[in-house]
Amino acid sequence: MVIVLPFAPLSYLPPIMIGGGPGTWFLLGYVLYLAIGVGGFAGFSAFLLMIELHEGRVLDGRIMLSGLILLYLGVTVGSILLGVAGAIGGYDFIIQHDTSNTVQGLLSPYVSPITVASFVAVAGAGVSMYGMITAKAKRT
């Protein structure tokens, strides 16, 4: 999480994003959505199955729902913004033949919203982990 903070010396991600080409942005958005959106949620479901069936604990539905919504929104919005910025930047660079400085200027407004989406996803993961940790034993 600290790599997305917009404060020096922790701000590793924004300069990489600004310095990367549009293809990097588009590919990163696609790969992140597949890795986190498909693989991450499959792993998340496996943990929930283990907690509920094998450990016999009950999860608080409100906590888990809020965590899931935050996580899903953060991952989806961040991935879509990366893909859109990559497509727009790629069009501008390849089709319009603009300079890389112009393309970087076009991509830079997307850095802060993607950083916020990353924070939302991390907050959703934290809330979900809190819900898993505080799951209560079933009453029989």
With contact defined as beta carbons under 8 Å apart, do 25 and 82 qualify? yes
pLDDT score for 66:
95
Across 14-34, average pLDDT: 70
**Can you say whether residue 21 is alpha, beta or left, with left for phi > 0 and alpha for psi between -120 and 50 degrees?**
beta
**pLDDT tier at 11, thresholds 50, 70, 90:** low
For the chain, helix (H) and strand (E) counts, in that order, are 6, 2
Which CA distances in Å does 56 have to 41, 135, 138, 140?
21, 10, 6, 11
Nearest to 2 by CA among 52, 14, 46: 14
Task: Select the highest-mean-pLDDT range: 5-9, 11-15, 63-67, 95-99.
Answer: 63-67
Q: What percent of the chain has pLDDT over 70?
A: 83
pLDDT digits (tens, 9 = 90+) for 29-79: 788 788 877 888 888 889 888 988 888 888 888 999 999 999 989 988 988
**pLDDT tier at 1, thresholds 50, 70, 90:** very low
Across 8-25, average pLDDT: 62
